[in-house]
Structure 1
Amino acid sequence: MTEPLFLAPVFHEKIWGGRKLETEFGYQIPDGKIGELWAISAHPNGPSTIENGPLAGKTLTQAWADDQDYFGHQKSKVFPLLTKILDANASLSVQVHPDDAYAAAHEAPGELGKTECWYVISAEPGSYLIYGHHAKTREELADMIHSGDWDHLLRKVPVKTGDFVYVPSGTIHALNKGIMVLETQQSSDTTYRLYDYDRTDAQGNKRELHLQQSIDTTTVPSVDPKLDIQTEQKDDATITTFVQAPISPFFSVERIQLNGKLHQTPKAPYTLVSVLKGNGEFTADGKSFPIKKGTHFLIPNQIKAWDFSGDMEIITSEPGKEA
């Protein structure tokens, strides 16, 4: 019998981080401003460790390299997805991410581009995102960046708890203060900063900006993706599909709102699971595993059917054909 792969989170301190990962989720986090929890990761800057079963003690990176039976024998050299929780106690830098081609040409070998998305776990009243820009040409974009004309360049979009935001590579964006999200993304840690509010760290140093890379990689003019969000009732669950192919070639993302029991079969070689509310059980091949708020795990290729039971809100994601 193959078990789900339960994963230990990796925490990252950020200048904009806070303590909600401890107070809201009960994680034992390090001291300091903890902005990111890398929940399901095989990226070299923070690989998750498998906590159970035959692969216990291995990182997800090692499992991807050595144990492809668990992933359906994929061709990608790297595990292609990364799941995080972000706690924006202050605003993140205004930034943009490259696509695969630009990352391959300009970043470390094996680094992917970065298309990502956010499910808003919580947002304080009045919260907003930076999402997109008003420049009509790349020349206008460059002029507005170099002159610091942020009020005219950047678009502000209101956001509330339960919203979903898809952020393709090339999109100028930023989470702002008071927002917590679950992020599903390509496995990349490449960020190009346009603007960081001129803030400094504890040593009085400003963070590095990447103006030319930002100008090179930003989509001009700004384009909003047209999502086809779909909701269905199945068993005792409401399932909302936020994004999938062809809109998103790298991943699909669903929310499961469960009060009772849900039977599922896979639509991809493996499935990533994050429990955001409540508690219950995951059952496969006659064996049950307790799961609760803050649990993250991967359903491997060998599991061909499973049941969720309990009272929970769950986000699942699966790799797309381009992953």
Structure 2
Amino acid sequence: MRAVVRTADGGPDVLRVDEVDTPSPGDGDVLVRVAAAGVNRADLLQRRGHYPPPKGVSETLGLEVSGHIEAVGAGVTTWSVGDPAVALLAGGGYAEYVVVPAGQVTSPPEGVDLLSAAGLIEVAATVVSNMDHAGLRDGETLLVHGGTGGVGSFAIQYAKARGCTVATTAGSDAKLAVCRDLGADIALDYHGDWVAELKEATDGRGVDVILDIMGAKYLGPNVASLARGGRLVVIGLQGGVKGELNLNALLTRNATVTATSLRFRPTEQKAEIVARVAESVWPLISDQTIRPAGETRFALDDVRAAHEHLESGDNVGKVILVV
């Protein structure tokens, strides 16, 4: 089969498409014939050598795919050859075929094009699992950074569907307009003093939950933006891995700082998350309560261009590799 191979740690130029062995499903697995794969910032980190896959998982990039079931392993009774499917992966998605535990596969949302569906499961699972982890309650206030990215654009709409007030950050007037169109109540330019502007917009209270993709760079500003009893969930490290934490600021707010990774969770937990997404989120997508913020498609052979586009900062929504 054809798959994207990473020849070294580095920039997009280390990626190439080559022939590799086609995997076979083991007990409890399915083999998916890939139609498309979502491109995520975690893939950029792995390409640079900063985010290796869990032990025993394919070194091929790619954390989500859509396609059709090609074969089923022993003990799998919920899937048949030819069924359309989307899958949450620990790796291996940039390829013509990928093996995945059957519990991490679900049907695409009704009414969604199969290629577009490739970019839904990773962001949906990330947002839902972390909002559950943070205990987001209906009607609370959420701050999500990077409001026009895949996770950010989804989180805005998911929280609005739950009656929350949503604040977000972005880096240009055009992107802030996209955030507002998605439902953000407060849209802040991260080049400015967004902490002060957020405090003013919340009458000095701050926010209940923050979904953060930046890590170290925003650790202090995020804690300063929390309301009493607030919860900060770090899911990305675009701004570095080591930061200084003012424990007194955390203590006086009775606040919580936590960090999670979807990729390294046990298979059983991932299956539970996928089932929750199918039950609670897919209907919101099918009735267009949640709608994609946009997508840009590249052919598998143009994987370097896909990574360059995502890294450029110009992207809105999801990047899709059509296999």
TM above 0.5, yes or no, is: no
Q: Which has the higher helix share?
A: 2
Q: Which has the higher strand share?
A: 1
TM score, norm. by length of structure 2? 0.27
